[in-house]
Homo-oligomer: A and B are copies of this chain.
Amino acid sequence: MIRVGIVGGTGYTGVELLRILILHPNVEIHQVTSRSDTGLRIDALYPSLRGLCDIVFSLPDVETLSECDVVFFATPNGTAMLMAEQLLKHNVKVIDLSADFRIKDHNEWSKWYGMDHACPSLINDAVYGLPEVNRQAIKDANLLACPGCYPTAVQLGFLPLIENKLIDFSNLIADVKSGVSGAGRKAQVSTLMSESGESFKAYAVAGHRHMPEIIQGLAIAAKQNIGLTFVPHLIPMIRGIHATLYGQISGNITNIQEQFEQRYKNELFVDVLAEGECPDTRNVRGSNKCQIAIHQPQGGNTLVVLSVIDNLVKGAAGQAVQNMNIMFGFEESQGLSTVALYP
């Protein structure tokens, strides 16, 4: 049984962490912080947790958090980098769901996130928490940077093509669509139901913050630079990401279906669908699964990979718990064996 703290428990990734951790057999939730809702019972804000959790939101303070074995940051960007160092000094492991420690080049990070990095010296110690790539390093990590939601769906879809050098690295296209919960739980006009319901649009076509993260991850796999066009879209639904990935064939794609199956055969949370299938975001709703299919339409030169996740689970809180399980030597699926909610 480990003691867990959650900093920033009022957002969607915070409450999703609670949904998962409350039923995790090896976890005791020690503190959940929220500046805006300090003093309020969590289940008053989130009645879905009634009967399961009598914790009260408190102010984040290092002293109490230091009594934890691990602290999750489900905070806006720019918060974890202010507290991580102190917690690490107290031998508390840190799992950051925000972007603070994802990008290795802190100047690049500053450019996209619009602020100076408060703690650049720690960036190199941070392990990028995509278990399907970094499992060994995650085991020993003290500071873990959880991947973004888009980057998780896109990287898991492209990795077999890139690692096996099957496509032209200079011209990758990721046409990605996300449900509105990815925009978080903050008061704003653009994600009101009247604005984003019954409508579909692209956004941030000129450049989205998740692009450098995807490029960094794919370039490591490619062992060279890669060129990516990344267009995110907003789907009129709550949960789910669907990545449609395009690459131009440049390698040996014989048995490409098998190459995908082989790549993920030992991965509990990546599921390669049968040939010809198309994944549907509903089939991973509420679960930590990524479902993937690979197509070569009309036998042409363009490969199409379809990759779906629940942005709040495999794209955030679920992957964070998967990382925690690896870091503490628990079964990797502990607390994550729920079935997707269909219909």
Contact = CB atoms under 8 A, between A and B. Distances in A.
Given A302-B171, A343-B12, A197 B237 contact: yes
A317 B202 CA distance: 26
A239 B300 contact: no
A226 to B, nearest CB: 12
A110 interface: no
A126 B49 CA distance: 35
A181 B197 CA distance: 11
Given A181-B194, A192-B193, A301 B171 contact: yes
A147 interface: no
Say which size band chain A's interface belongs to: 35 or more
A339 interface: yes
Copies of this chain present in the complex amount to 4
Given A235-B200, A242-B200, A297-B229, A48 B283 contact: yes
Contact of A248 (B22, B171, B186, B196): B171
Contacts of A312: 343
Interface in A322-343: 337-343
A192 B194 contact: no
A79 interface: no
Contacts of A77: none
A295 B132 CA distance: 34
A274 to B, nearest CB: 8
B194 A343 contact: yes
* A52, A186, A236 pick with most chain B CB within 10 angstroms: A236
Given A246-B173, A286-B341, A298-B206, A280 B236 contact: no
B300 A198 contact: no
A41 to B, nearest CB: 10
A191 interface: yes
Pairs A-B, 3 closest by C-beta atoms:
A199-B282, A48-B340, A201-B280
Interface of A: 12, 15, 19, 22-23, 46-52, 171, 173, 175, 177, 179-181, 183, 185-189, 191-203, 205-207, 227, 229-231, 233, 235-240, 242, 244, 246, 248, 268, 271, 273, 276-287, 289, 291, 295, 297-298, 300-302, 304, 306, 308, 312, 337-343
16 contacts: A48-B283, A48-B342, A51-B268, A171-B302, A175-B175, A175-B244, A183-B194, A193-B193, A198-B237, A201-B279, A205-B297, A206-B276, A206-B295, A227-B300, A229-B297, A236-B237
